[in-house]
Amino acid sequence: MSSTARRPSRSRATSRSADCTPQQIANEVWAQMKQELNSNGKTALSNDMIVTWFLDPAISYPRGPAQPSANSEPLLINTTGSLDDQPDSKTAIPNLFLAADYVRNNVSLATMEGANEAARQAVNAILAQSGSSAGPATLGTLWQPSELALEFQVDEVRYRAGQPNTLDMPPPGVPL
């Protein structure tokens, strides 16, 4: 559940998890899981299965549980223009290679998959730099829905031209 989730909630009135109590967060996460896993008349999850739940201790309520939460360990979420700040696995320093979720790669998100892909890129850079005869690590390709292929192409052209993504622009007629 995102701290800035904008989609309608299944179990609470507020639209931002940062405005929820710990119990509301637990209820919302459970509701989302049930919605995804209970299908075709089959119940994979039911409320009686909950024994206990745990909320990350980095989430705190400094002004009380009815007030907005604070997160002392926020995750990296890509923001507009952040691609320019993502380093490559191979650096200008000959013996320094980066493998972490913030490294530029095909996944492009702060996830374990992104970190794994960056590690494979770093391994390949090390193999190339060292002159190793070992085969390179296989790099994956992030699946993207074919229905969005044209949108991705337009976005790439706009990015190369220094223009914003069309979703980052106000609709026509809306003043800036």
171: DSSP letter = P
User: pTM here?
Assistant: 0.50
Q: What is the mean pLDDT of the chain?
A: 84
Residue 10: pLDDT over 70:
no
What is the per-residue pLDDT across 149-168, written as a single tens digit (0 to 9) for each?
A: 999 999 999 989 998 888 87
What is the per-residue pLDDT across 71-111, written as a single tens digit (0 to 9) for each?
A: 888 776 777 678 888 999 999 999 999 999 889 998 888 88
Length of the chain: 176
Q: How far out from the chain centre does Cα 44 lie? A: 26
